[in-house]
Amino acid sequence: MRPEILYPLFAPVTTLPGVGPRFGKLIERLAGPEVVSLCWHLPSGLIDRRFAPTLAEAPAGAIVTLTLRVDAHLAPASRRHPYKVRCHDKTGFIHLVFFHARPEYLGRMLPEGEVRVVSGKLERFGAEWQMTHPDYIVAPADGEKLRAIEPVYPMTAGLPSKALQKAVEGALDRIPDLPEWLEPSYLKRQGWPAWRQALLAAHRPQGEADLSPETPARQRLAFDELLANQLALALVRAQQRKLPGRPVSGDGRLQEKALAALPFALTGSQRLALAEIAGDMASGSRMLRLLQGDVGSGKTIVALLAMLIAVESGAQAALLAPTEILARQHFNTIAPLAEAAGVGIALLTGRDKGKARTRILAGLASGETALAVGTHALFQEDVDFRDLALAVIDEQHRFGVHQRLSLAGKGRAADVLVMTATPIPRTLMLTSYGDLDVSRLTEKPAGRKPIDTRTLPLDRLDDVVDAVDRAVRQGARVYWVCPLVEESESIDIAAVAERHAHLVGRFGARVGLVHGRLKGPEKDAVMAAFAEGRLDILVATTVIEVGVDVPAATVMVIEHAERFGLSQLHQLRGRIGRGGERSTCLLLYQGPLGAAAKARLKIMRETEDGFRIAEEDLKLRGAGELLGTRQSGLPVFKMADLAIHGELLAAARDDARLILDRDPTLTGARGQALRTLLYLFERDAVVKTVRSG
């Protein structure tokens, strides 16, 4: 149960003063549905109202606070014109300007003959001073209502800044004093305030310097968030480690047959990764390992050899892929090698129905089928294995931890091997895969040639089409990728369709089109036609980013490359250069380029090393956008910025380990405070796995 002291923070935002259903929806979209979401919504700027000049001293365009006497209300002749209030100080005159004014209200706010303190942006209109819709109008006696320094928050359309500020203040009023979960000596050494003071300081900056993520208050909040993340992962890992494993080891006979059927030798890093996996499987503990390899580094072969270890021991293995295209591709790679080793293999997807499906399920249940490859269909309730010893999960960031465990749950103490082709920077690895051991494939298979990457302005489109024509005449197959921006999906699909029509005009019917709105079977049919050589050019959105393997494709054109993140450009480029031929990637950009876009395109020209690209992407864009975290399953941090707080992450990881060494069930005084921290950052599910002492 969530501690009672946190109840006020987890009430809906609509329980705050001034937040009705309409503003509530907007705040939910901006920050989140609960009061605590506003506590994490930190200011990005500030307005300093301490500048209080006379009109003669004031510069145009500045935010100023003026003390004025009200002279006269000048009502307009027509509603279309603004309402003006003429005022003065001892050095000059000014008009306060209001559109769609309510005269009675303004009469009460600015009574003629009275003095008022007015704050807002000062502008010149011809030879006169004016201030349109002042931010504040107060009587001199109520000066304290006017905040000298006002935080500015990230906004959303339709939500007035004053309403958001009022809601945040309401949220801050509910912050309780919580028991300290940090080690007192560490807190003192860092010079950090207590949690409540840190949160209030972050929301009430006294100057520009207080907005920096490196202030003591913001560092403290970032560390708390990272500690909650690392402690949660460490608890999951400890729980997994407690579950009894079983030693699984093979005699190598099936692996040898599969290797003999391969047209190339394994790379050094493939051999090392396989040795690490075999060591884990042979131990008495359950394996939880991530196999991280760049596009085309040969993860599938390593996975197959690991699966054959399970078969050699008399058990079964399964490989789970996030899409049908990927599942079929893995199956096509693995099936001939499994056949060479004399091992039965089946493909199971949502498309398999009726007798065909019944036959596959019977083979898995009897153990006659030793290897299974499939999509989510593999962990449906009616799928039973005789003895599943290894579950391999591809593109892990598409699956949650629960799905990972539900497939492993189909076996008796099954080992889990997770694969990803998305190079993930070390800092992100720690925050999202901290419960896994990691093997990295760092080499490309022998015979792969470097990809020639060039950047060209979009106004040279005709030259690019001519170059594609020459390549197609020589037998090349070409990907042509158009960007997809979520906010305007329909516009983008129109743009992709337009590019497709343009290329059909030049190349005829041998140009295919694929985008996210196509149904699965239609998409598969177009992809298959391209893979089999019935199409020369495939115009696509980023749906081809992961998983299409067409060794004959040697040209990649990416339109508006400046709109893509580095990791995404790298993933797309990895679709070519998979055969023995030289490949070319053309990045078309719309100038003028900003500094970040220039840096991204420069790195793409310089390197094909996915790990270096991922690190650079983290520096350029921050973790939030790196892998499109919303769909990637990676944690989205509210206060920690991994590009800046990397060292704090390492410290949080060390602290989490130490905590669990000393108090594995979190029952001591600090342990109880840490449970509150886990609830505060909504890691409730993890707290429930810790046996209460």
Residues 108 and 591: their CA atoms lie apart, in Å, by 53
Give pLDDT, residue 631. Answer: 37
* 576 neighbors 477 (Cβ within 8 angstroms): no
> Judging by beta carbons within 10 Å of its beta carbon (0-12, 13-18, 19+), is residue 52 exposed, middle or buried?
middle
Q: Is residue 164 part of a domain?
A: no
pLDDT in tens, 71-83: 999 999 888 899 9
| 202-215 tens-digit pLDDT | 999 999 999 999 99
User: pTM for this structure?
Assistant: 0.70
Closest CA to 571 of 613, 599, 618, 539: 613
**β-pair type (83-89, 92-98):** antiparallel
Say how many C-beta atoms besides its own lie within 10 A of residue 64's C-beta.
21
How many helices (DSSP H) and strands (DSSP E) are in the chain? 25, 22
Using the 3D structure, point to which of 128, 146, 164 is the last residue of a domain.
Answer: 146
Q: Are residues 260 and 329 in the same domain?
A: yes
- The answer to whether residues 286 and 415 belong to one domain is yes
Encode burial over 652-670: b for 16+ CB neighbours within 10 A, e otherwise.
bbebbeebbeebbebeeeb
Q: Which amino acid is at 197?
A: Q
Question: Would 394 be classed as within a structural domain?
Answer: yes
Asked if residue 568 is part of any domain, the answer here is yes
Nearest CA-CA partner of 386 in 317, 293, 312: 317
Domain end among 591, 607, 623: 607
Nearest to 477 by CA among 407, 590, 553: 553
Residue 578 vs residue 606, higher pLDDT: 606
Q: Considering the domain boundaries, does residue 648 fall inside one? A: no
Q: Are 310 and 316 in contact (CB under 8 A)?
A: yes
Split at pLDDT 50, 70, 90, the class of 635 is: low
pLDDT tens by residue, 551-581:
889 999 999 999 888 878 888 898 888 777 8
At 136 the pLDDT is: 93
**Are 308 and 367 within one domain?**
yes
In the block, tokens 């946190």 appear at: 6
Same domain flag for 415 and 476: no
Is there a domain that residue 3 lies in? no
Given pLDDT bands bounded at 50, 70 and 90, which one contains residue 625? very low
In a domain, 432, yes or no: no
Encode 332-362: b = buried (16+ Cβ within 10 Å), e = exposed: ebbbebbeebebbbbbbbeebeeeebeebbe
What's the whole-number mean pLDDT along residues 641-658? 89
CATH number of the domain that residue 74 is part of? 2.40.50.140
| Boundary-marking domain end, from 105, 126, 146 | 146
170, 18 Cβ separation under 8 angstroms: yes
3-class DSSP assignment, residue 323: coil
569 and 460 both lie in a single domain: yes
In this structure, what CATH number is given to the domain that contains residue 474?
A: 3.40.50.300
Q: Which of 510 and 399 is assigned the larger pLDDT? A: 510
Domain count, the chain: 3
Q: What are phi and psi of 637, to 5 degrees?
A: -90, 140
Instruction: Please tell me whether residues 524 and 570 are part of one structural domain.
Output: yes
Q: Calculate mean pLDDT across residues 323-350.
A: 91
Model pLDDT, residue 630: 39
Residues 6+ apart with CB under 8 A from 448: 296, 577, 578
pLDDT at 190: 96
Are residues 384 and 513 part of one domain? no
Give the pLDDT of residue 404: 58
**Token pair of 303 as six digits:** 């996975």
Same domain? 369 vs 502: no
Query: Are residues 337 and 479 located together in one domain of the fold?
Result: no
Is residue 239 assigned to a domain?
A: no
Does a structural domain hold residue 215? Answer: no
Question: Does one domain contain both 265 and 372?
Answer: yes
464 and 526, same domain (yes or no):
yes
Q: d(Cα 649, Cα 504) in Å, to the nearest integer?
A: 51
Residue 242: how many other CB atoms lie within 10 Å? 11
Tens digit of pLDDT for each residue in 268-307? 999 999 999 999 999 988 888 989 887 778 889 999 999 9
pLDDT of residue 622: 56
Domain boundaries, position 345? 253-422
Asked whether residue 303 falls in the same domain as residue 399, the answer is yes
- Distance from chain centroid for Cα 60: 42
| Spatial contact of 67 and 89, defined as CB atoms under 8 Å apart | yes
DSSP labels, 583-642:
EEEEEEE-SSPPHHHHHHHHHHHH---HHHHHHHHHHHH-HHHHTTHHHH-----SS--T
